[in-house]
A and B are shown apart, each in its own frame.
Chain A
Amino acid sequence: MSLTVTDLRVYYRTLRGDVKALDGVTFTVADGEIMGLAGESGSGKSTLGKSLIRLDGRMRHVGGTVELDGDELPIGDDARMDAFRFHRVSVIPQYSMSALNPTRKIGKMVAELMASRGVRLEPAELERRLDLVGLSREVLDRYPMELSGGMKQRVVMVISTLLNPSLLIADEVTSALDVSSQKAVAGTLLQLRDAGLVTSMIVVTHDISLVYQIADTIMVMYAGRLAEKAPAGVLVTEPRHPYTKMLISALPEVGVRYEEDSRLSGIPGSPPPLLDPPGGCRFRDRCPIAFDRCAEQPPFVEIGPGHSVACWKAGE
């Protein structure tokens, strides 16, 4: 079992109190699994992605545990977490285009980064990995500004996976790209896993149709909680949670992405405020099949092989 997350709670501190962005999340990611993590803005998917590698300034680890290959990750302790970062958990950030120090040649930056982590870098290995993502070794002698956006992103992919991490988090890596580049990037992610450079992967995205092409499983989040997790094919063809159903039916044809901001047009209403969320199922105000029992929070239970849903009516 590569990653085990148990009842994880991460809140944002704000003026008016804690925003419960991640409110009790339990799931596992198996060795070799690529898991797509989908949801609307504010569903908590990015918070989950960040929690596994580095909390940002306003996030607070309130409860729950994260275990990676049997070791507990000290996610609330920035300093102790450093030992795990890069070696065991790594990230391809959303801002890949600006993730490289603008005043260092890429080769030199990589060398300095590796030296600072006390790792010896085999030049041949680095070059092999550049080849893998389709970059010539000349990029090492270039400054970031001399590369195209796609090249920078691939450089970041190579750097992030240099130490063969157990878990790689790809955070909205395709959102800044055009459709053809998106497919190329998705393909590269797949290659990284298939070449054994990373064990498991969580691909955070708002684009189910894209992640469907590479993910083994897809997990859908809603308002800080899990809604459904299933093998990719099952989730897309036989969704059981009413939210997932709406999400899938609202999807345009595969490959066309909907805009982040245009809230799902097929689903009236908006997610509840996470500052002081109502009890029970958080989707019930927008849910067409809600009934009395939804005032009680439905558990996230397995209803089929690798298929878990948090809905009282999922079993019907």
Chain B
Amino acid sequence: MRRYFGRKLLIYGLTFFVAVTINWLIPRFMPGDPVQSLIARANIAQPEVVEAMRVRYEGLFGFDMPIWQQYFNFWGALLDGDLGVSIWLFPTPVADVITRAVPYTLGLLIPAILLSWVAGNRFGAFAARRKWLDNTALPIGYVLTATPYMWLAILLAWALGIIAGIFPVAGAYSYAMQPGWSWEFIGSLLQHWFLPFASLFLVAFGGWAIGMRNMIIYELEADYVNYLRALGAPGRLIRRYAFRNAILPQITGLALQLGVLVAGALVTEIVFSYPGLGNLILQAIQNQDFFLLQGTFLFIVMGVLIANFVIDIVYVLVDPRTRAGMGGAS
């Protein structure tokens, strides 16, 4: 058990290390003087912002120092929790900007991931054993999973927001309202939350349903199923076993899909101007706010790594074999 998690943690640690290094390395590949060109591209009028940027960039890059020193300084600042100051929302620290946006992204992502996973797996298993349903549901599932997240988001916003007028299509709550703990405000939050959630949910749902359907079909060909059939076991028992065995790779699949789902949430937020991390990224790119972009990047990587680790733990809890194997080994 310790060995298994030790190995996982090593990989996640290395990944984080790689991510930070990428973050440090990429600006160094820019042609010319990166500080000058970054400032020029930011296109900012306020002199104090320009000055702050210049000081910050030079401190950050520290081109006069040896390269290893530059690298260690970068880590030092990072470990202090210093992600720099946002250019777009000058002079708010990047960490603060991110902290404000994170709840919105998590509020979209976590329900969308969990619900789509549960519902998709159930539906996929259900469809796999009914010919007519399989033949109709399968193409729909493939179309859903092939749909770019942002396009489905646009379609939903257009159909249910603009044309039908049922849901608002921008922001996280009505601009006419003051944030607070009133029912009215919570209602507004939910109303604004629904469409981005629904588009994330639908695309992911299609993927899980198809994955489960394919897994079940393979499981039903497995030797243990043939044996049960040869012993005349009823279909109910066989399907229960097949589902149980097919769900395990789907948990692994969840870990593998995290990056894709996060990316989906980012572009969906952009469509709905939802004030989460996706929106931050868009603003950072449009305002050439590289501190914000890099901070958001590191934050997302960390979130994905933590989520991966949680899924690892869940997997061990769910798959009896890993537990048995580890019990025997330790």
Contact = CB atoms under 8 A, between A and B. Distances in A.
Direct touching of A and B (C-beta under 8 Å): yes
Interface of A: 53-54, 81-87, 90-91, 93, 95, 98-105, 112-113, 116-117, 142-143, 145-146, 156, 159-160
25 contacts: A54-B230, A82-B232, A86-B231, A90-B230, A91-B230, A93-B226, A93-B227, A93-B230, A95-B223, A99-B223, A99-B227, A101-B228, A101-B241, A102-B224, A103-B248, A103-B319, A103-B320, A112-B237, A113-B231, A116-B233, A116-B234, A116-B236, A117-B231, A143-B324, A146-B328
B224 A98 contact: yes
B229 interface: yes
Interface string B218-252: 00001110111111111011000100110010000
Contact of A101 (B224, B234, B236, B324): B224
Contacts of B31: none
A143 B324 CA distance: 7
Contacts of B237: 112-113, 116
Quick one: which of B232, B233, B234, B244 has the most chain A CB within 10 A? Answer: B232
A156 B321 contact: no
A86 B324 contact: no
Contacts of A53: 230
B314 to A, nearest CB: 15
Contact of B324 (A82, A84, A99, A146): A146
Nearest to A146: B324
A116 B248 CA distance: 24
A160 B325 contact: no
A142 B325 CA distance: 11
Contact of B224 (A87, A99, A143): A99
Contacts of A102: 224, 245, 321
Nearest to B319: A103
Contact of B223 (A86, A93, A103, A159): A93
**What 8 pairs between A and B have smallest CB-CB spacing?**
A85-B232, A99-B227, A82-B232, A98-B223, A86-B231, A95-B223, A116-B237, A101-B224
A116 to B, nearest CB: 4
Interface residues of B, number: 24
A36 B244 CA distance: 38
Interface in B181-228: 222-224, 226-228
A162 to B, nearest CB: 9
Contacts of A95: 223, 226-227
Contact of B321 (A103, A113, A159): A103
Contacts of A113: 228, 231, 233, 237
Contacts of B223: 93, 95, 98-99
A163 B226 CA distance: 19
Contacts of B320: 103-105, 143
A104 B245 CA distance: 10
A316 to B, nearest CB: 43
Contact of A145 (B227, B236, B244, B325): B325
A145 B325 CA distance: 8
Given A105-B320, A116-B234, 8 more contacts: A54-B229, A81-B232, A90-B230, A93-B230, A98-B224, A104-B241, A117-B234, A142-B324
Quick one: which of B230, B231, B236 has the most chain A CB within 10 A? Answer: B231
A91 to B, nearest CB: 5
A100 B224 contact: yes
Contacts of B227: 93, 95, 99-100, 156
B245 A103 contact: yes
